[in-house]
Structure 1
Amino acid sequence: MRRPTTFVCLVAALLALLPAAVARAGPVRFEFTVAPAPGIANPFAREIWAEVTPPSGATLLLPAFYVGQQIYAVHARPDRRGTYTLGRILESTRGAPATAIAATPHSPSTFENPAPLRLPPVGVDPRSPGGFARADGHAFMPFGANVAWAPEPDVLAFYRATLDAFAANHLNWMRVWMVHWGGTNLDWPRPEDGVPIPPGGIDATVAARWDSLLAAAEERGVYLQIVLQHHGQYSTAVNPSWIDNPWNAAHPGGFLKTPAEFFTDPRARLLTALKYRYIVARWGWSPAVFAWELFNEVHWVDALKLDRDETAVAQWHADMVRLIRSVDVYAHPITTSTEDLRSPIYAAMDFLQPHLYSADLVAAARTFAPRRAGDTRPVFYGEFGDDHLRLPDDVKKSGLVEPPAVWASLMGVGSLPAQAWEGEKLRATRRLAELGAVHRFVVLSGWSRHHDLQPFSAAVECTARVPLQLDGAQPWQRRPAREFTLPLDGREPLELGDWPATFATPAAEAKDGFPSRAVFHATFPRATVARLEIVGVSENGGALRVSLDGQSAAAGSWPAGDTFPATLTFPIPAGSHAIALENTGARDWVQISHLDLGLTAPALAAIGQRNDRFIALWVRHRANLFALEPGAPSEGTIVLDDVPAGTWEVKWWDTAGATVTATEILSHAGGTLRLPTHAVTRHAAIVLSRQP
């Protein structure tokens, strides 16, 4: 009797993967003209509103935007079948209550919508605050990648082709910047798009491009996270674009003397607020807008990196969130991206957006920097990249790195996948299907029906062995290195993702939050000799000490011109020990590659999520995972502790295509379950489901 239910669930799961069959996407649009306003020369600066009554009968007050020739337009979401009617036109000024003004229709004042909205809008899930949900009640998990700008002159042709590829591979999320060199910045156009725009203006060509881009996304069922600002616009130190910024006082019409003034200058704040109002008025109707992201990596702007004025930047964020929420009737989620999840910059955000550029993506993707106590908002890595991986360039260019990091991100403390930075690389290397396979796995395996999963790592008994080493994971992250116990049987605790790759001085830790010391505990089965590999130091040199049970075991000091890698070697007796690495403070920072413990680990590693009814495992081959030419596959036995008694269905999944390669039924008496693996070349997934 379970077959019909199973069939219905499978059909629903498959439908959740498919983009909606969508006709030409577009808003309910009304146009009208109003007389010029005395004292307001810039038509984009007028705060015009329109009352629109949808078929439900509940009148909406929507922001209008300037089109040209004294024409304004209002966009409503076509979420119901029936008649939409334009009502009164109103105007407010700088927060004053809106009052009705005279207006002349420039289009029919009624619109007959033949069909309801095709793509369900997405928001934070009210039933599960740590996740997202579509308006139709289905849970939503963003699976996709960053395609921040078009690397080709024809922006729309590029994005249409890329959106086609995303949809074809079951990807539903893309992060796109409003950036001048990509032809998507409304008030900083490319030279080929026309003349520069004076402060307070909007480029019509770029705005029309966004109309088409969002329509293309909606038609393909892909949601866009739209990044309104990027750090380079207001930075002189990190990816700086300040020298070319049209608001820079060095240019005609510019008025900001420093990048930091963007956050405090009254004119800059007003013009930014008006631009954001325009953005919401023109595109807030679109269900293809997943979220508004105020800033990319705001910690790199001069106001924070150089001036350390977190108060001003946090206040700017709070004010802009308040502005957007006051005009966004459709309540899209709002976020920003910065590294400190406890920063007041995040206080008003709907979800958190750290980025991840780790030297060990598999370990680091499973955990996050500390959050404020009780913060249950959604969090996922909006970017991750391979910049700090110690891998050859040809491996990085191949796209091998990204899919495993997405798998690993689901096997940690978060419930949402990490998003690759180089989406276009993955399209070019035909790896998008591997990202889509993770999405298919989550939906088709039944994962998404479980909300109480806990991350874990299982031991794998395996004759094939590799060196047991503790890799430096975090090169430059302001997060503490948690003290932890390292199992020597190949299990991988979450704390591995916090282990520093860079050790700052104690003074730098106190000032900037970069760790200077890290400690782990382990019980060694025999005496061994450990080797710590140092790969670089500051231009001022660096010094590092290794302690064993509180006593110095090895130490080194290296000038900047020294030859790297360098090695510190020290003996470890059999038994339980505490091992500490610490910057002595004598010079400056030190960067490590790994600590080889002189032991071996199984070639296969297993991490996963579990409850008492469902166990998902991702198994990888430590030596083959990123090899362009992988070696022989390995087999082993996964040791699962505390598995409840019952009948368990075991499915093996191909991680490249998210297809089930084998199914078996196990009768388990309870306790430890020993599960023989199939041969694993790179990585595979396993799901165990307890049967009713």
Structure 2
Amino acid sequence: MPIGQNDAISWPELNGLFRRKDIAGVEAHLRWLRQSGVTCLRLMLEYAQVRHRYFERPLGRFVPAMVRLWDDLFRLCEKHGLRILLTPFDTFWQWRHWRHHPYNQRNGGALDQPSRFLVCTATRRAIKARLEFAVRRWGGSGALFAWDLWNEIHPEQAEGSADDFGDFIHDLGAFVRRLEISLYGRSHPQTVSLFGPELRWRAHMPLREPIFRHPDLDFASLHIYEEGTIDHPSDTVAPALGLGRIVGEALAETRDGRPFLDSEHGPIHTFKDKKITLPEPFDDEYFRHMQWAHLAAGGAGGGMRWPNRTPHVLTPGMRRAQRSLAGFLPLIDWRRFRRVHLGGRVRVSRPDVAAVACGDDAQAVAWLVHRETIGPNGMLRAVAQTEPVMIDLPGLAPGSYRIVGWDTAAGTQAAEWRAQADGRLKLEVPPFATDVALAIRRC
């Protein structure tokens, strides 16, 4: 189950890999991540915010220092049991810094304009050559989790059209899969990510089919930056409820039960446009609520935060939240959990409490949060609960169920009890101050 976040080879915690300036420091950091329950990092093979991290320079020459950097990172991740969700290009900085990029014709590359990245035949060959190098070099590593074949695929990379996204995905995906099978006898999962608001901004374009239902992709992923809530939060509850709703909508779009992973989220507008780093206590609670909403809505793991902080790292409080999530996960049999998002079918007895939940006929996960005790700072106030909360979950087969209440902030079990279901499971939840997660499993 992926617990982790986005990272980059030029950000503070991995920067010591470059030219082996501080391998020991990076290893200590990775060890701490694993101790914090982290299982997966999403990384870009080339992070083009700075010019001395290009993976190729010039086109077709894989920079020895960068190859060695990735050799070291894969070795360390193998040693400490971490997995990598790998994407070949950082398309954001590649576009912003196009004048410097090695794929630019002016720098000896194959491409005249970045608006033709997905349609240029010569560039397609170069993309495949990069992927082939990565597959041959690291495809046999146990640290490789999956391929994000293209970061934030966008019509502007294909001359303003999304009509050929499906063919582009098939061409790259089939190429990687054939090569992996020929070399290793198996292949890794594949996905392609999309900047989530594009689904609304470009509703007239055929974006949903390739992202959610492409037959060559193994799981679906979005970068969930809902405007006004997730991208610029004023409290810690509305963004999480928005994330839960969007995860549910995404799962409904897949239609075949494939997993969904939010592979980027965070306060991007607050940080990038407003130049504000959220106060650490607020951001810690925002982060914690977001990961529990993602899991309870039916997503794989807790979603993957883009730090959007100065310094550009997750806080110790966020690491504690990840450790809490890791402690909760063994309470559910994930290999047998064929969960669906329960959405509006969940009934809660009190309007001041919101619920996000998923389940099948034998198990369920729910997250309950108070939403009317938000203080002036946008954070939840811990209040003494005077009335019980009743939650009614659909779809659970008749029988006896064990319910564990989980204190998400403390990372500990807060309650345990049993209840009977008759097609619906009605629970009286013990008092909780701000929020609580429930693991529900048939005995």
Shift of 1:611: 4.8
- Higher mean displacement: 212-221 or 255-264: 255-264
Write the deviation string for residues 289-332 of structure 1: whole angstroms up to 9, x where unpaired: 11122221121x6334xx32324554333222222223213411
Q: Does 1:209 align with 2:90?
A: no
CA distance in 2, matches of 1:248, 1:208: 25
Identity level (%): 22
CA contact (8 A) 1:174 1:225 kept: yes
Residue of structure 2 aligned with 1:258, choices 99, 109, 113: 113
One of 384, 396, 401 as aligned partner of 2:286: 401
- 1:375 Cα deviation after fit: 3.7
Name the aligned partner's letter for residue 335 of structure 1: T
Cα drift, residue 206 of structure 1: 0.4
Higher Cα Rg, which structure: 1
Residue number among 48, 71, 75 corresponding to 1:180 in the alignment: 48
DSSP-derived class of the 2:346 partner = strand
SS in 2 for 1:400: helix
**Alignment RMSD, CA only?**
3.4
Q: Say whether the 8 Å CA contact 1:426–1:432 is kept in structure 2.
A: no
Are 2:401 and 1:652 equivalent residues in the alignment? no
Aligned twin of 2:330: 443
Secondary structure class of the residue paired with 1:353: strand
- 2:348 paired residue number: 459
Per the alignment, in what secondary structure is the counterpart of residue 154 of structure 1? Answer: helix
Q: Quick one: distance in 2 between partners of 1:371 and 1:646?
A: 28
1:376-455 equivalences in 2 (<5 Å): 376-387=257-268, 393-394=278-279, 398-414=283-299, 416-422=301-307, 427-446=314-333, 449-452=336-339, 455=342
Q: 1:668 to 1:259 in 2, by over 3 A?
A: closer
Q: Which amino acid aligns with 1:458?
A: R
Corresponding position: 1:350 with 2:350: no
Q: Aligned partner of 2:168: which letter?
A: W
Task: Work out whether 1:685 is the aligned partner of 2:441.
Answer: no
What residue in structure 2 maps to residue 104 of structure 1?
none
Decide whether the 8 Å contact of 2:364 with 2:440 is kept in 1: yes
Higher relative contact order structure (alpha carbons within 8 Å, sequence separation ≥ 6): 2
Cα distance, 1:679 vs structure 2:
3.3
Shift of the alpha carbon at 1:164?
A: 1.8
> Which secondary structure state, in structure 2, belongs to the residue aligned with residue 678 of structure 1?
coil
Deviation of 1:285 after TM superposition, in Å, equals 0.9
1:354–1:381 CA contact under 8 A, matched in 2: yes
Which residue of 262, 271, 292 maps to 2:126?
271
Task: Write the letter of the residue equivalent to 1:342.
Answer: R
Q: Which residue does the alignment assign to 1:218?
A: 78
Q: Does 1:155 align with 2:17?
A: yes
Counterpart residue type for residue 249 of structure 1? Q
Contact 1:228–1:294 (8 Å) recurs in 2 = yes
What's the CA shift string for 1:248-273, capped at 9, x where partnerless? 2333x244221123333333222222
Contact 1:459 1:639 in 2 (8 A): yes
Query: May I ask how many residue pairs the two structures share in their alignment?
Result: 393
Change (3 A) 1:227 1:676: closer
Q: What runs of 5+ residues in structure 2 fail to find an aligned partner?
A: 200-206, 230-237
Structure 1 residue 438: Cα displacement: 1.6
2:150 matched residue in structure 1: 295
Residue 53 (structure 2) pairs with residue 168 (structure 1): no
Q: TM-score, normalised to structure 2's length? A: 0.76
C-alpha separation in 2, matches of 1:674 and 1:378:
28
Question: In 1, distance between residues paired with 2:430 and 2:193?
Answer: 40
Q: Distance in 1 between matches of 2:346 and 2:216?
A: 35
Whole-angstrom distance in 2 between the partners of 1:640 and 1:276: 48
Q: Which structure shows the bigger proportion of residues in helix conformation?
A: 2
Change (3 A) 1:368 1:147: farther
Q: C-alpha distance in 1, partners of 2:408/2:144?
A: 29
Partner Cα distance (2:305, 2:87) in 1: 16
Partner Cα distance (1:380, 1:200) in 2: 32
Higher strand share: 1
Q: Secondary structure at the match of 2:88?
A: strand
Structure 1 position 286, deviation (Å): 0.5
CA distance in 2, matches of 1:388, 1:233: 17
Instruction: Map 1:472-621 to 2 at 5 A.
Output: 490=351, 602=352, 604-611=353-360, 613-621=362-370
**1:38-90: CA deviations, max 9, x gaps?**
xxxxxxxxxxxxxxxxxxxxxxxxxxxxxxxxxxxxxxxxxxxxxxxxxxxxx
Amino acid at match of 1:321: G
TM-score by length of 1: 0.51
SS at match of 1:319: helix
Paired residue type of 1:401: Y
The range that moved more, 661-670 or 379-388, is: 661-670
Q: 1:254 to 1:672 in 2, by over 3 A?
A: closer
CA distance in 1 between partners of 2:397 and 2:110 (Å): 68
The answer (yes or no) to whether the contact 1:650–1:664 under 8 Å persists in 2 is yes
Which of 304, 317, 335 aligns to 2:169? It is 317
The separation in 2 between residues aligned to 1:451 and 1:671, in whole angstroms, is: 17
Deviation at 1:446, TM superposition (A): 4.7
Q: Secondary structure at the residue paired with 2:167?
A: helix
Q: In structure 2, the residue corresponding to 1:364 is in which secondary structure? A: helix
1:16 alignment partner in structure 2: none
Residue 611 to residue 326, structure 1, CA distance change in 2 (3 Å): closer
* Equivalent position SS for 1:630: coil
CA contact (8 A) 1:143 1:436 kept: no
The Cα offsets for residues 197-233 of structure 1, whole Å up to 9 and x where unpaired, read as 2221110110011001011111111110111012235
How many Å separate the matches in 2 of 1:669 and 1:369? 29
Could you tell me how far apart the structure 2 residues matched to 1:671 and 1:234 are?
A: 51
- Structure 1 residue 167: deviation in Å? 0.4
* 1:667-678 mapped onto 2 (5 Å cutoff): 673=426, 675-678=428-431
Task: Map 1:77-96 onto structure 2 (within 5 A).
Answer: none
How big is the shift at 1:370?
7.7
CA distance in 2, matches of 1:245, 1:668: 60
Q: Secondary structure at the match of 1:256?
A: coil
The match for 1:634 is 385
CA separation of 1:647/1:397 partners in 2, compared to 1, >3 Å: closer, same or farther?
closer
CA distance in 1 between counterparts of 2:320 and 2:150 reads: 29
State the match for 2:239 in structure 1: 361
Paired amino acid for 1:265: C
Distance 1:381-1:670 versus aligned 2 partners, 3 A rule? closer
Q: Which moved more, 1:367-376 or 1:342-351?
A: 367-376
Paired residue secondary structure (1:170): coil
Shift of 1:368: 3.1
The amino acid of 1:398's aligned partner reads D
Shift in CA distance, 335/686, structure 1 to aligned 2, threshold 3 Å: closer
